[in-house]
Structure formats: C-alpha cells, structure tokens
C-alpha cells in the first residue's frame, strides 16, 4: 500500500503535487529547472547556516541548544536553518525547495516518506521566513499550521531580532508536533500507559 501525499504544493505556483511528481504540471518547476535558475548549491552543514554572520556566537549557541532539545523530544526530526539574502526574483519557498532537495540534507536511506527533515530559511533583506518539511512530515503538519508558526516570528523579524525569531519558530514547531502527536494518540486510541513507553514519534 503506497501513501499519496495530497497536501504538497509547488513552491512556485502553489499547484497541488504528489511525492512522485518530477515536475509541476502547471509551471514545470523541477529540480533541473531550479538548478538552471538558481545556480550552484551552497555547502550546507547541520544546524545553523548563517551565511551573513547575522547571528552572534552566543545566539548561535542558544539556537543550537534549542535544536538539541528539539531532537531529544523528537529524535526522528532534524531541523536545519539558513540565514541569507535570497534572490527576490523567486519566492523564498522556491529557494528552500531547491536547497532542501539539492543541499544533501538527507542520506539516501531517509528519502520520501522517511524524510523527517525541517528546513527554515530567513531572508534578511526581505525580513521574511519560510519552512519546508520532508515528505514524512507533510501529511501531519498542515500548511496553515506552519504558516501560523511563522506569523508569530514576523514581529521579531521586522525588528531585526533574528535570534529570538528563530527560537520562537523552534518552540512553536515543537508545540505543534507535540499537539499533533497527542491528536494521533487520541485518534488511534493509544492509552497513556502504552504511549508512555515510547518517546520517539
């Protein structure tokens, strides 16, 4: 039995997609065309990628501690953060789609439905942010809920408070995933006694 992910959207034109689409049926966006548009893929590392040095060392340490705590609560989830100025000719979502798929954030055995990565992008010039989640998380983290997470960080971004904006997003994401897990437990009728034996989601 294969799982069809029905809430995926093209990051450029918002057309509905499935996991196995090689390109968007409406605007023809694909990894190949994104490579042609956006150029060489920057070298990404785990955790925070601050290409502009917009975050101080103390702020980066605080963010990394928050990412460690997130990983302890949700061991299967890995979150990556990119702070940069992105070409405004293309949406931030398009840039993240390209980086998510071409930035070697996942090993070959964690593709498709096993991909539980989260990529957060902050565009300093535009005071904007966006999130892309792996195929394994998309059926559970609704786009509207993710947008609500980002909205809470916008006042901090507008004040150039990038560190607190990132920390707010991490905290809100953790709460969203916790709420989602509880709802799944209720739907599947998993008792507290049974679910307490497992700490991974």
Q: Is the pLDDT of residue 169 over 90?
A: yes
Question: What integer is the mean pLDDT of 138-142?
Answer: 87
For 3-22, what is the mean pLDDT? 54
Q: Between vectors from CA 24 to CA 22 and to CA 28, what angle results, nearest 5°?
A: 100
HSE-CB at 123 with a 13 A cutoff on CA atoms is 19
CB atoms within 10 A of CB 42: 12
Over range 170-180, report the average pLDDT. Answer: 95
pTM, two decimals, is 0.77
Instruction: Give me the mean pLDDT over the 107-131 stretch.
Output: 83
What's the Rg (C-alpha) of the chain? 17
Q: Is the dihedral of CA 40, 45, 46, 49 positive or negative?
A: negative
* Beta bridge mates, 35: none
Please name each of the domains of the chain with its CATH number: 38-195 (3.10.310.50)
Question: Lowest-confidence range among 33-47, 128-142, 158-172?
Answer: 33-47
**Higher-confidence residue: 91 or 39?**
91
């Amino acid at each position: 039995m294969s799982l069809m992910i029905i809430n995926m959207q093209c990051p450029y034109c918002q057309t509905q997609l499935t996991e196995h689409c090689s390109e968007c049926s409406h605007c023809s966006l694909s990894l190949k065309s994104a490579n042609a548009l956006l150029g060489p893929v920057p070298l990404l590392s785990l955790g925070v990628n601050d290409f502009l040095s917009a975050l101080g060392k103390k702020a980066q340490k605080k963010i990394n501690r928050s990412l460690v705590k997130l990983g302890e609560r949700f061991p299967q989830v890995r979150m990556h953060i990119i702070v940069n100025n992105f070409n405004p000719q293309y949406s931030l979502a398009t840039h993240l789609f390209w980086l998510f798929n071409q930035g070697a954030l996942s090993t070959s055995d964690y593709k498709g439905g096993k991909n539980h990565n989260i990529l957060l992008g902050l565009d300093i010039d535009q005071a904007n942010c966006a999130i892309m989640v792996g195929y394994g998380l998309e059926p559970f983290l609704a786009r509207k809920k993710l947008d609500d997470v980002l909205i809470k960080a916008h006042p901090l971004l507008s004040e150039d408070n990038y560190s607190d904006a990132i920390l707010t997003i991490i905290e809100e994401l953790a709460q969203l995933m916790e709420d989602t897990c509880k709802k799944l437990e209720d739907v599947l009728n998993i008792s507290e006694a049974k679910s307490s034996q497992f700490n991974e989601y």
